[in-house]
C-alpha cells in the first residue's frame, strides 16, 4: 500500500493508492480462480476500471522517487512495463526526479 508523505505528488500518490486497493481486490478474485467469482461481472468491471486508472497514472508526470516506484508497480500489475510508451514516460519521470535531486544538492 502506498503511504502519502510528499505533497508534490500527493494527487498522483492517491491515485496509485486507489489502484493498489483495486489490485488487492483483483488478486482476491484471482485467488478464487476455480470459483465462479473470477470472470464475474464485478471482476471484469474492476479489472477494466483498474486498467483505465493505470493509464491515467502512467500518463501523469511525477517528481518524486516514491511516485516513480508506484508508477512502476502499477505498470507491472497491468503488464504495461514492457510497453515502449510506458518506458519512455517512466524514463522522463526518473530524469525529472534526478534533476530535482541534483538541484537540491547544490
Per-residue pLDDT, 6? 54
Determine, yes or no, domain membership for 1.
no
Question: What total of structural domains would you count in the chain?
Answer: 1
Q: Decide if 66 contacts 6 (C-beta within 8 A).
A: yes
Residue 2 within a domain: no
Q: Is residue 97 part of a domain?
A: yes
Domain ranges, residue 49: 8-105
9-32 pLDDT, tens digit per residue, is 999 999 999 999 999 999 888 777
81 or 37, greater pLDDT? 81
Find out whether 5 and 66 touch, Cβ atoms under 8 Å: yes
pLDDT tens string 55-74: 999 999 999 999 999 999 99
Q: Would you say residue 3 lies in a domain? A: no
85 lies in a domain?
yes
The C-alpha atoms of residue 78 and residue 55 are separated, in whole angstroms, by: 9
Amino acid at each position: 500500500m502506498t503511504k502519502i508523505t510528499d505533497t508534490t505528488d500527493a494527487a498522483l500518490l492517491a491515485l496509485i493508492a486507489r489502484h493498489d486497493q483495486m489490485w488487492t481486490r483483483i488478486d482476491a478474485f484471482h485467488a478464487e480462480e476455480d470459483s465462479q467469482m473470477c470472470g464475474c461481472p464485478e471482476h471484469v468491471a474492476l479489472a477494466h476500471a483498474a486498467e483505465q486508472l493505470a493509464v491515467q497514472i502512467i500518463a501523469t508526470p511525477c517528481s518524486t522517487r516514491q511516485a516513480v516506484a508506484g508508477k512502476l508497480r502499477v505498470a507491472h500489475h497491468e503488464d504495461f512495463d514492457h510497453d515502449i510508451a510506458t518506458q519512455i514516460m517512466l524514463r522522463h519521470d526518473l530524469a525529472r526526479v534526478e534533476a530535482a535531486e541534483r538541484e537540491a544538492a547544490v
